[in-house]
Amino acid sequence: MFENTIRRMPRPQDAAILTTQQLRDTFAVTHLFAPGELRGMFTELDRLVVGGVIPLQPVALPNHKETGHTYFLERRELGAINIGGPGVLHADGKTFLPDRLDCVYLPMGTKSVTFESQNAKNPARFYFLSCPAHATHPAAIMKPKDASPIPLGSQAAANQRTIYKYIHPGGISSCQLVMGFTELAAGNVWNSFPPHTHWRRTEIYFYFDLGENVLTHFLGEPQQTRHLFLHNEQAVLSPNWSIHCGCGTGNYRFIWGMAGENQTFDDMDGVKPGDLR
């Protein structure tokens, strides 16, 4: 179920003096998945909710007092990406069958949402984000091949990767949610480098397919950076004043999701590597 507390964000000058454990308690989300459960938390990042569910039996999306409404998506929208076995998602009489890495979008006003696995021995693993909405868009499903894959980076810089955009103005329409994933090629380890900030949006990264590899995620103001060591299927919260980039001991994938003042993917403030501290 959803945690009863809201994950609060510190001011930049306060984040700069946090201990390692305080940084983890503030920015890292480390226990999103448990067999047969739905887990999630509300955050101060544009009221984003981050969650995960492994449905061994059908699991309904519950409401929470923090929505202030009679059902969870009464004034919210939701995006879910399946990182496990073949799944089933029921939403107000519609049924979607997301395979691994498929994305499902549900609009504001969706009353009933149920997550299922097609085979409990190979269960689905739904990672989802939800944010406030003020307009309704059609429910939709998209596969990676239809997500406008964009190759970036180079082998020489160890950041050769492909970006898959699902929920954005050129793909699945939404009110303010933007969501997709990035896949690093074998032998590549850096993501989102050189880093950037974007004051008009906040962001959440969810790292997966790391196996036993370890990832170092960098955060903080460009001149007051900090880092966290993360493992498979862990997420990290990025306020609008913070950089967000990472480097692993092997290649991996990560889901990125944003909400805020606009949905312009390239609206970001780049940071020169030589200016980082």
Cα separation, 209 vs 183, in Å, equals 10
| CATH number for the domain that contains residue 84 | 2.60.120.10
4 inside domain: no
**Bridge partner list, 212:** none
3-state secondary structure (DSSP) of residue 186: coil
260 inside domain: yes
6 inside domain: no
Domain hosting residue 129, numbered range = 11-275
The two structure tokens encoding residue 83:
């990182």
Q: What pLDDT, in 10s, does the model give residues 239-266?
A: 999 999 999 999 999 999 999 988 988 8
The reported pTM is: 0.97
Cα separation, 142 vs 166, in Å, equals 7
190 inside domain: yes
What residues contact 112, with CB distance under 8 A and at least 6 apart? 60, 71, 90, 91, 92
Q: What pLDDT, in 10s, does the model give residues 189-238?
A: 999 999 999 999 999 999 999 999 999 999 999 999 999 999 999 999 99
Q: How many domains does the chain have?
A: 1
180 inside domain: yes
2 inside domain: no
192 inside domain: yes
44 inside domain: yes
